[in-house]
Amino acid sequence: MDNNNNYDWAQKSVFVQPQTGVVAKKFFANVFLWMFVALSLSTFSAYFMSANAEFSSFLRNPETLRPTTLGWIATFAPLGLVLLMSAGLNRLSYGALVGVFVLYSVLTGLSLSFILLVYTSTSVLSCFIGAAGIFGIMAIMGYTTNIDLSKFGPILMIGVVGLIIASVVNMFIQSANFSLFMAFIGIAIFTALTAYDVQKLKRIGEGLEANGAQMDADTKKLAIMGALSLYLDFLNIFIYLLRIFGDRR
């Protein structure tokens, strides 16, 4: 799930520093509302799939837990939907973007349902709470800090690309120690990305306010893309915490 969340949509916004007004606050509230919707849909679909052995068998072999053909499709489909939302932002209507975002959230939950079969419920809940705590602290820091975090963006993106390449390599070498090392690096990168993305979204909202924008369809589409960015940050923190601290059944 090491998805690159450096979207082109962010580059089209004006980064200025006016006082936060109504539009900026509504934009920021919409971002977190859609992020909550995505997490809720993913959690529900993951629980539903793991709790129904008959449905779960369509995605994974009950004995080996290896993905079936349909399981591989469910695993890689969310990545395709992320690319669709990012590349087709200007062409997709607001309703279509919402539909793709909802579908992405559900499919991500389905693809991660095996987590509830591999790890104990206690460790999954503990890591989820831990991820929420880390995310919350870094979100507050990103929103309140006066330090310009934009200069760290390229470095963090390089780190994400490095994680993706390392993950592909480890699919062949199957090294547990290397996987554990990447988990620690992944937590560090996506923890920093959380603060970076929150500050970026705050400035986007302020830029919209300064330009006299309203909460129209285009602004709401930006909020959905912002929610996707934060959702990916949280999800990766959670998964990497689970790799380190999760207790297997």
- Mean pLDDT is lowest, of 63-77, 146-160, 196-210, for 63-77
Residue position matching structure tokens 């820091």 = 141
Closest to 112 (Cα-Cα) out of 79, 75, 163, 143: 75
Contacts of 80 (CB under 8 A, 6+ apart): none
Identity of the residue numbered 21: G
pLDDT at 11: 47
Torsion of CA 84, 90, 91, 95, to 10 degrees: 80
**Least reliable range by pLDDT among 15-29, 72-86, 112-126:** 15-29
H-helix or E-strand containing 18?
none
> Could you write out the DSSP letters of every residue in 156-188?
HHHHHHHHHHHHHHHHHH--HHHHHHHHHHHHH
The pLDDT of 142-159, averaged and rounded, is 91
Q: What pLDDT is attached to residue 184? A: 94
SS3 149: coil
Per-residue pLDDT averaged across 133-143, rounded?
A: 95
Q: What is the residue whose two structure tokens read 């090294």?
A: 175
Confidence of residue 194 (pLDDT cuts 50, 70, 90): very high
Q: Which token pair is 219? A: 């602004």
pLDDT of residue 211 exceeding 80: no
- Our separate counts of H helices and E strands in the chain read 10, 0
